[in-house]
A and B are shown apart, each in its own frame.
Chain A
Amino acid sequence: MVDKTLELFDCGHRACGGCGAALAARLVMKGAGKNTIVVSATGCMEVFSTPYPETAWKVPWIHSLFENASAVASGVEASLKKQGRSEKIVILAGDGATFDIGMICISGAFERGHDFTYICYDNEAYMNTGIQRSGATPYDASTTTSPAGSCSFGNKRPKKDMPQIIAAHGAPYVATASIAYPADLMQKVEKAINTKGPCYIQVHAPCCTGWGFESEQTIAIAKLAIETGLWVNYEMVDGKVGKVKKVVKKPVEEYLTTQKRFRHLFKPKRQDAEIAAIQAMADKNAEKYGIEIKLKKE
């Protein structure tokens, strides 16, 4: 059972107000519990939680480099095993550290089958360095390295399907989650922690600074991502999709219009073709995962 009162990621850190990643860390630690060692990759979370000589972590925590968190965790696991110790290992890394620079280390560690839980807090760009695109940035999002302009609608590629890549390594438990659904997130972390082998959870964590919205909107926007089908919460046990979060589907516009990173799709001129392309992606998600709840017509 998750102890919801447990606070292992303490207040007083340096995250922006309304930071989705900070909330993700707090919830993840409630799910993981005290007997945990956290391995962090370089990124926002590492920087805002550990400015020497202060730390927000009430569990043992280690940060080495940007790309190597899964390799460091492999070593921690081997070390604990050799010493006969019982701590669980949680990796916390952003989408840049996961989708891009950390891919080799991740692939190696998942293939070797170490016992850890990898949490990717996905805020869909390199936020720590000033909002540059990553392999997790959605189609048409404007970032500082995929800016919308007179001949560009922003990021040209859809988001990489990282959970499927991890599942293809034979990971016993893969899930997606969102800070908008805390109970679901905490339960998934608890489940992953108690599953032997390398597990992966990708947590949607909106970034008010990078996406361009007011800080009190974080949860609402995370929820809209789910409700439009642009983010799907699901579980994969032994590679098979099981539990999926079902929604009464809303048009993607309701999500896109809340964030400055998509405003070029509506101003100065509405880009119908681009919005339709994004809607098609949401519809494809809905079909693939069967998320839609159809309301009976009155």
Chain B
Amino acid sequence: MLEITEGSHAVAEAVRLCRPQVISAYPITPQTHIVEALADMVANCQLDAEYITVENELSALSACVGASAAGSRVYSATTSQGLALMFEVCFNAAGMRLPIVMTIANRALGAPLSIWNDQQDSISLRDSGWLQFYAEDNQEATDLHFIAYKVCEDHSVLLPAMICFDGFILSHVYEPVDMLSQEDVDRYLPAFTPYQRLDAADPISFGMYATPEYYHEFRYEIDNAAKRAKEVIKKAGKEFNTLFGRDYSAMVEGYRLDDAETAIVAMGSICGTIKDAIDEMREEGMKVGLLKIRVFRPFPSEEIAQALSRAKHIAVLDKNISLGAKGALAMEVRDALYGSTIPVKGYVIGLGGRDVRKKDIKEIVSLAQKGANDQFYGLRREVL
């Protein structure tokens, strides 16, 4: 049923429909509306879950580790500084192969302190073993939660996942969302059946230490599982499309890309702005298209290389910066296109909530066409 709702509330409703057994979270702007909504559902018996109000984010994710290892479906949400505080637990959760689903309301990292949006927080955890999905709008953010649980809990994957949606830009925005019913979700997402769990009737040890004789292979297995997730994501997306008519089977999605000479590559809510800018540029006769990256981990290298193979210019937009190097997406797109002669330019934009407008997208297209080098886009004059 289509309803106008706030992004955070839509996500909370999706989470409720996934029937998590344990929720553990700590409030942080702009994630708060999600965890408040879930607390309200628990308080009103609309959601039958144990809700642990922890004392910080490290404990939020740690409690999820314990709850998941003991065999429950678990959920958390955070952003920015909170995710940074979880850093150690993130690697741990993936290493223990626990299918935790966590929403990230993407926000910049301090210093200087900023509560506003960019994607530095989740991008900084790209090496942690978590699957990472980026949503363009609240419909996608909502639907990706159903898909994420299905993928993570698949016994050929067993990895945690972050659903990343842009803080404020999506989390606090009201827009129409078609919400599934409980019957729909139950049909799509079966109850959690842990591969193994803490159980006195069948004791196992979780989280042992590994000597150099074994550690290397553990990392190899996690990497393999992340790569296996590609097929599982496709399958889960297809099934979702068959049942509900929205297609998330592809990890990347082209928009007016087939005949595009200039291709923009981007992730998250900025893709909406880019699509509008492309429509206007197309009316002026410019052959511009978009490749939206929905799944950043596992990284869809082959799909990207194929989708961009006909472009003459590629502009990659990053709402993050690996300081001293480049934007993360630009570096990885270049890696995907290694050996190709198509010039790939990386533009860092919109950090700390700086607005990105259609005219900025047009300007970036023009920069890419001129072959302008990688750069921070739209800097204030006084720093130049």
Contact between A51 and B211 (Cβ–Cβ < 8 Å)? yes
Beyond A65-B62, A108-B54, whether A82 also contacts B205 by CB under 8 A is no
CB distance from A8 to the nearest CB of B (A): 9
Contact between A46 and B64 (Cβ–Cβ < 8 Å)? no
Of all chain A residues, the one with the shortest Cβ separation from B213 is A52
Interface size on B, residues (CB 8 A): 43
Q: How far is the CA of A68 from the CA of B55 in the complex (A)?
A: 12
Question: Contact check: which of A37, A62, A67, A107 meets B55 at CB < 8 Å?
Answer: A107
Q: How far is the CA of A53 from the CA of B205 in the complex (A)?
A: 10
Contact between B21 and A79 (Cβ–Cβ < 8 Å)? yes
Chain B CB within 8 A of A259 CB: no
Contact between A65 and B89 (Cβ–Cβ < 8 Å)? yes
Chain B CB within 8 A of A105 CB: yes
Contact between B209 and A51 (Cβ–Cβ < 8 Å)? yes
Of all chain A residues, the one with the shortest Cβ separation from B64 is A75
Contact between A58 and B203 (Cβ–Cβ < 8 Å)? yes
Chain B CB within 8 A of A47 CB: yes
Q: How far is the CA of A248 from the CA of B62 in the complex (A)?
A: 46
Beyond A64-B96, A76-B66, whether A50 also contacts B74 by CB under 8 A is no
Q: How far is the CA of A62 from the CA of B208 in the complex (A)?
A: 8
Contact between B209 and A82 (Cβ–Cβ < 8 Å)? no
Question: Contact check: which of A36, A51, A104 meets B200 at CB < 8 Å?
Answer: A36
CB distance from B193 to the nearest CB of A (A): 13
Enumerate chain B residues within 8 angstroms of A75, measured Cβ to Cβ. 22, 24, 52, 62-70, 74
Enumerate chain B residues within 8 angstroms of A59, measured Cβ to Cβ. 200, 203
Contact between B62 and A35 (Cβ–Cβ < 8 Å)? no
Enumerate chain A residues within 8 angstroms of B199, measured Cβ to Cβ. 60, 87
Beyond A62-B198, A104-B59, A107-B55, whether A71 also contacts B66 by CB under 8 A is yes
Chain A CB within 8 A of B113 CB: no
CB distance from B128 to the nearest CB of A (A): 14
Instruction: Please provide the chain A residues from 71 to 89 with a CB less than 8 Å away from any CB of chain B in the complex.
Output: 71-83, 87
Q: What mask results when residues 191 to 226 of chain B are scored 1 for a CB within 8 Å of chain A, else 0?
A: 000000011101111111111001000000000000
Contact between B50 and A37 (Cβ–Cβ < 8 Å)? no
Which of B59, B70, B92, B210 has the largest number of chain A CB atoms within 10 A?
Answer: B70
Instruction: Please provide the chain B residues from 36 to 50 with a CB less than 8 Å away from any CB of chain A in the complex.
Output: 49-50
Of all chain B residues, the one with the shortest Cβ separation from A56 is B205
* Given contact pairs A46-B209, A79-B22, a sample of 5 additional A-B residue pairs in the complex whose CB atoms are under 8 Å apart: A63-B209, A68-B62, A71-B59, A75-B74, A82-B72
Residues of chain B whose beta carbon lies under 8 Å from any beta carbon of chain A: 21-22, 24, 49-50, 52-56, 58-60, 62-72, 74, 88-89, 92, 96, 198-200, 202-211, 214
Residues of chain A whose beta carbon lies under 8 Å from any beta carbon of chain B: 34-37, 39, 46-47, 50-53, 55, 57-65, 67-68, 71-83, 87, 104-105, 107-109, 111-112
25 A-B pairs in the complex with CB atoms less than 8 angstroms apart: A39-B66, A50-B205, A51-B208, A52-B211, A58-B203, A60-B199, A63-B205, A63-B206, A64-B96, A65-B92, A68-B62, A71-B62, A72-B62, A74-B59, A74-B66, A75-B62, A75-B68, A78-B24, A78-B72, A79-B68, A81-B50, A105-B62, A108-B54, A108-B55, A111-B55
